[in-house]
Structure 1
């Protein structure tokens, strides 16, 4: 399993951004193999974590036309900066114990 860590500094959030983010989340979960997606915002900082079964799914998502359009809007209007990290999950713990 893999995790994508997206960190950004937001400019003033706008309705278009919030609507686009919601639509992209659903698209990633329903059509591109994203297993789980969680996002948090504190002040102008955003952190989004998404879990994926394999790197191929992440690559397909990165090249999805709706996602590419949102990336461009992000660079032009929504973010003053951002970073993306992809990591492989090598161990998992849970409480109560996760039997999956």
Structure 2
């Protein structure tokens, strides 16, 4: 399992819109050789992208994984999409780790949150 289970459960805070989200949903294959290591590398790598705002991840008991990545603007999202190491991991994912996946990209026009009873609207 990835290191997601080792950190406290929190969600990405609300940001001042507009910004972008990439929603990646996937069902994995049984072959997960080197997946955890590559996934950890991608998490470290995306944090270095100027304009990266954060990431939420969830996994269902049935095997559906959902990762939502947040980016300040389209340029930041493009920088991540075209990163050479990320592209190589995508290829390996299609060849080995994913039975199926979908990617949805959207521009966020409204955002607010709730934390300990305090409104978090920017």
TM-score, shorter chain, exceeding 0.5: yes
Please list, as runs of the form range in 1=range in 2, the aligned pairs for 1:45-60 lying within 5 A after superposition: 45-60=64-79
Q: Where is the helix percentage greater, Structure 1 or Structure 2?
A: 1
Please list, as runs of the form range in 1=range in 2, the aligned pairs for 1:26-41 lying within 5 A after superposition: 26-41=44-59
8 Å Cα contact 1:2-1:89 kept in structure 2: yes
- Mark the runs of 5 or more structure 1 residues left unpaired by the alignment: none
After superposition, the C-alpha distances for 1:40-74 in whole angstroms (9 at most, x for unaligned) are 11232110001000011111111101001000000
Shift of 1:94: 1.6
Question: What CA distance in whole angstroms lies between the structure 2 residues aligned with 1:99 and 1:68?
Answer: 35
- Which residue in the other structure is 1:89 paired with? 108
Distance 1:94 1:22, change over 3 A: same
Task: Give the one of 16, 19, 27 matched to 2:37.
Answer: 19
- What SS does structure 2 have at the residue aligned with 1:59? helix
8 Å Cα contact 2:29-2:99 kept in structure 1: yes
Greater CA radius of gyration, 1 or 2?
2
- What SS does structure 2 have at the residue aligned with 1:91? coil
- Mark the runs of 5 or more structure 2 residues left unpaired by the alignment: 1-18
Matched residue count:
100
